[in-house]
Structure 1
Amino acid sequence: MADAPTVKVVGTNGEISLDKRFAGRHVLVEEHEPGVWIVRTATVIPDNERWLHEPQATADLQAAIGWSATHAAPAPMRKHPESS
């Protein structure tokens, strides 16, 4: 359930303060019309990791995880005692 509306004052630097529970979070700020903003928390994904969130990468990773669940890792090779 949403909190009751509160009145905030925009400071001379153009900033407003949100509740401390949002400290350090990234937010998206969208202006839908003059004076109407939507502020949403967001998670930022680095550009070089974005491919991991594409449907094909997700499907490939799920397939690999499924395969690994049914295939045991090979036993490590032992050194022959006379090969030192």
Structure 2
Amino acid sequence: MKTVKQVGASGQISLGKEFAGRTVVVDSREPGVWVIKTAQTIPDSELWLHQPEAAARLDRAMAAMDQPPISADLEALEQHLGML
């Protein structure tokens, strides 16, 4: 679908209310040619969550939450840790 838009005096165009508040990526392929895509941003402090190793660890942790709890032998743990 092609739509004709007028660029305003301030250099802005309106994409329509359906895109209000959305983040977009504007790719300038060549002078006068733009490709606009909706996007989601990830805060820098959360980028590590999207790395393959971290994602795999998170998947394992989430799967472990579905397992029933087991009893721990605290005396054996203390001995193992050298606490006695």
Determine the C-alpha separation between the residues in 1 that align with 2:2 and 2:24. Answer: 19
**TM-score of the two chains, using structure 1 as the length reference:** 0.77
Aligned length: 71
In structure 1, stretches of 5+ residues that fail to align are 75-84
TM-score, normalised to structure 2, is 0.77
Among candidates 24, 29, 32, match of residue 32 of structure 1: 29
CA pair 10-60 structure 1, distance change in 2 beyond 3 A: same
* Structure 2 CA distance for aligned equivalents of residues 73 and 40 of structure 1: 49
Which of residues 5, 16, 21 is equivalent to 2:2?
A: 5
Identity %: 49
Q: What is the one-letter code of the residue matched to 1:57?
A: A
Q: Please list every run of 5 or more consecutive structure 2 residues that lacks an aligned counterpart in the other structure.
A: 72-84
Q: In the alignment, which residue of structure 2 is the partner of 1:14?
A: 11
- Which residue of 2 is the match for residue 81 of structure 1? none
